[in-house]
Amino acid sequence: MATIAEPLAKRRSAHPAVRFLGRLFREKPLGAIGGVVFLAFLFVGVFADLLAPYGANHINPINRLKPPSWAFPFGTDNLGRDILSRCIYGAQLSVIIGFCAAGLATLISVVIGIVTGYLGGKVDLITQRFVDAWQSFPVLIVLIVAVSVVGPGMPQIIVTLGLLLGIAGSRIIRSAVVSVRENMYVHAAQSIGASTPRILVRHILPNVLPPIIVLFTTRVGVVIVTESALSFLGLGVPPPAPTWGGMLSGSGRAFMFHGPWLALAPGLCLTIVVYATNMFGDALRDLFDPRMRGSR
């Protein structure tokens, strides 16, 4: 008997995270697949050095512009570099930039959103005006201008993207905070004399965690696609870094007419990762926020 009761008991006391994963796979299979692809992408990025058959900038003049084969599954480029290896190292760069910039952006959004949303009043009004002005500029244009000032390079891209998306995203956190602020437990905390920082961290923050997680996930996709657009324009991480966007532009572009596989692999990687991130983010939002459900 005990053998039967044991798994049942285990199931009942399953960790909330495990239960959440179960719901994800049952209710949002496409989002779950997106999540799996997202994890696979993370795995490839972290272990790029072990997975890539060749170095990212391993130049091999004998194998210039080779079409896809067993030795080079995605073919080689005009310098004889293996495109599969470059795509794998590209995933590494995307993971680093995506997670760092999205993390920074989320952090900035949370700080601005929580403080202005909770305090309200003049601070809120002035900050919102500033966010308004900031938002009236296209992200890509601001980035191009910013890069023209700070110069291209990975740290610059991460900081500018993080700052830019962070300010824009503060709206989402702010509106979540405004609706949480009026809850009874917040008033209770205020009435027993809890300090503002304590209320913000102990009472507001845990309750706006779902939108924060969703914001972070969707931001990773946005960052990856924006960074590749910048690299494509020659303003991202400078060559020979194997960014997906950079692989589609620059010196390789002239050779695409002789080797169309040059144009395929990096774009495909980008599309799959962004698609997976979007599906995963959508699924998380639907599960976390029941009000959004139905507006598929």
Partner 1 sequence: MQAYIARRLLALMPTLFLASLIVFVTVRLVPGSVIDLMLAQNDISADKYSREQLVATLGLDKPMWEQYGGWIGGILLHADFGRSLWHNTPVGELLAARLPVTFELGLMALVVALTVAIPIGTYSAMRQDTAGDYIGRSFSILMLAVPSFWMGTMVMVFPSIWWGWSPEVKFVTFRESPLQNLSQMILPAIILGTSLSAVTMRLTRTMMLEVLRQDYIRTAWAKGLTEKLVVSRHALRNALIPVVTLVGLQAELLIGGAVIMEQIFVIPGMGLLLLDAVNQRDYPVITGVFLIVGVVVMVINLLVDLSYGLLDPKVRYR
Contacts with partner 1, residue ranges (CB under 8 A): 129-130, 132-142, 144-150, 225, 228-229, 232-235, 245, 248-249, 253, 256-257, 260, 263, 266-267, 270-272, 274-275, 278-279, 295-296
Least separation in angstroms between CB 262 and partner 1: 8
Sign of CA dihedral 255, 258, 260, 265: negative
Minimum CB distance to partner 1 smaller for 21 or for 263? 263
**CB–CB of 232/249 below 8 Å?**
yes
Least separation in angstroms between CB 92 and partner 1: 19
Least separation in angstroms between CB 244 and partner 1: 9
Minimum CB distance to partner 1 smaller for 47 or for 130? 130
Overall size of the chain counted in residues: 296
Neighbouring residues of 215: CB distance < 8 A, sequence distance ≥ 6: 106, 109, 169, 172, 173
CA angle 185, 187, 189 (to 5 degrees): 70
Sign of CA dihedral 87, 88, 89, 91: positive
| Lookup: tokens for 66 | 């080779």
Minimum CB distance to partner 1 smaller for 180 or for 223? 223
**Inter-axis angle of helices 209-232 and 83-119, nearest 10:** 140
Asked if residue 152 has a cis previous peptide bond (ω within 30° of 0), the answer is: no
**CB–CB of 58/52 below 8 Å?**
no
Minimum CB distance to partner 1 smaller for 174 or for 203? 174
| Lookup: tokens for 165 | 């998306």
Least separation in angstroms between CB 32 and partner 1: 15
Least separation in angstroms between CB 23 and partner 1: 21
Looking at the DSSP assignment, which residues form a beta bridge with residue 82? 76
Least separation in angstroms between CB 141 and partner 1: 6
Minimum CB distance to partner 1 smaller for 128 or for 207? 128
Minimum CB distance to partner 1 smaller for 23 or for 129? 129
Least separation in angstroms between CB 119 and partner 1: 20
Helix or strand or coil: residue 174? helix
**CB–CB of 172/211 below 8 Å?**
yes
Minimum CB distance to partner 1 smaller for 180 or for 222? 222
